[in-house]
Structure 1
Amino acid sequence: MAGTFPPRARKIVGLGGTFRQASSSERLVRAVLAECAGMGAEVIMFDGPALARLPHFNPENPVRSDEESALVEAVRGADGIVIGSPGYHGGYSGLVKNAVDLLEDLRGDARVYFDGRPVGLVVTAAGWQACGTTLSAMRDVVHAMRGWPTPVGVAVNSVEQRPFDATGALVDEGVARAVRSQAEQIMGFSMERPA
């Protein structure tokens, strides 16, 4: 499949995680990005600690920090996006929501918000119900922002699954298949848009 992509490298942006470096949701987003990179994409990650440095989004204040501007510009130039979050009380985290809210800065672009771009969604939660409701909430947001959630969403029940070993390697083959499938969908759909 890697040989079918045109010469221009696709740019895929990942965002998500928790305040804890190398959280399972961050690791899963990085795993999807690594698969995309293996298919020729340029990737960039905004992990939980990076998102934690963003001030609370204030639509009344047009002045952006360097960190805010970097995220907005990366998404503005992205061909595809991966968003990961833990499931908190049936929804996605405030840390991730604040980052997504900042993307309101894309409202005036010719390609508004996530317009026409594939968006892979990754959720980790303590139970299948929380996985499902969080994934559904994130899909609703992506639809509202004119993006295309990939058919494959990656959901990991942290009570029943341990997808990573002590070194951080993805060892659960079922999760690894979902990660690969999501990356293929992100890359495949992003190829349909003109360079």
Structure 2
Amino acid sequence: MKITIVAGSNRREATSTKLCRYVEKVLTERGVQVELYDLYEKPLPFYCADDEQVGESVQAWKEALNGADAIVLATPEFHGSLSGVLKNALDFTGFDQFDGKPVLAMSSAGGAVGVSSLQQLQTIVRNVHGVNCSEWISIGGAQRTFTAEGEPEDAKTRERILRTVQYFVQMTEKLRHS
């Protein structure tokens, strides 16, 4: 099983990216092949429907999603929405990248939780025929603190993330074998 995790922030040390790295570690320890696609490290040009946009960065982006059995999309929550960086990246995609694939949405918000961005991500996933995971991960406020080893400091946050990731892996396995 291969899962592509998309870190949808334009900040080097974004807590949403730290969350991605933690989920990557959890999945790898479970024997899952993981590709972390960090949009800060691999920026894309602005999407323009008038252009073919077949440059190397866009090709690599699409290939990372094409080769995945499942996808994790992570975003910081800005003004009640997903990041512009992630939305721009998703504009390059479509059915070829998402059709029938399980997708887990994750967010990191300055407030208590980032529900608006998660709902918007799920709407986008539905429109490209992905299969939304019924669980999601949202960290906010003090839950966004990570140890030097990259784990969430809060034990309840770790437990919730582990439970959701396990659910997502089981969902992916079931959909792969159906």
Q: Flag whether TM exceeds 0.5 (same fold).
A: yes
Structure 2: any 5+ residue segments left out of the alignment?
none
Query: What is the Cα deviation at residue 181 of structure 1?
Result: 2.1
**Cα offsets for 1:157-177 (capped at 9, x unmatched):** 13x434312453322222212
Q: Which residue of 2 aligns with 1:119?
A: 103
Mapped partners of 1:165, 1:39: distance in 2: 21
Q: How far did residue 30 of structure 1 move?
A: 1.9
1:98 equivalent to 2:88? Answer yes
The 5 A counterparts of 1:10-25 are 10-25=1-16
Checking the alignment, whether the CA contact within 8 Å between 2:103 and 2:133 is kept in structure 1 is yes
Deviation at residue 61 of structure 1 after TM alignment: 1.9
Distance 1:54 1:190, change over 3 A: same
Q: Which of 79, 85, 90 matches 1:89? A: 79
1:142 aligns with 2:106: no
User: Per-residue displacement from partner, 1:140-190 (whole Å, max 9, x unpaired)?
Assistant: 1112221122222111113x4343124533222222122212322232122
Q: State the one-letter code of the partner of 1:86.
A: P
1:47 corresponding residue in structure 2: 38
| 8 Å CA contact retained: 1:150, 1:182 | no
Alignment RMSD: 2.0
In 1, Cα distance between the equivalents of 2:164 and 2:101? 14
Q: Do the aligned residues in 1 keep the contact of 2:106 with 2:118 (CA within 8 Å)?
A: yes
Show structure 1 runs of 4+ deviating over 6 A: none
**Taking structure 1 as the reference length, what is the TM-score of the superposition?**
0.81
The question of 1:36 aligning with 2:20 is answered no
Aligned mate of 1:183, from 147, 165, 178: 165
Q: Which amino acid aligns with 1:157?
A: G
8 Å contact kept, 1:152–1:178: no
Overall identity of the aligned pairs, in %: 27
The number of aligned residues is 177
Scaled by the length of structure 2, what TM-score is found?
0.89
Ranges in structure 1 where 5+ consecutive residues have no aligned partner: 1-9
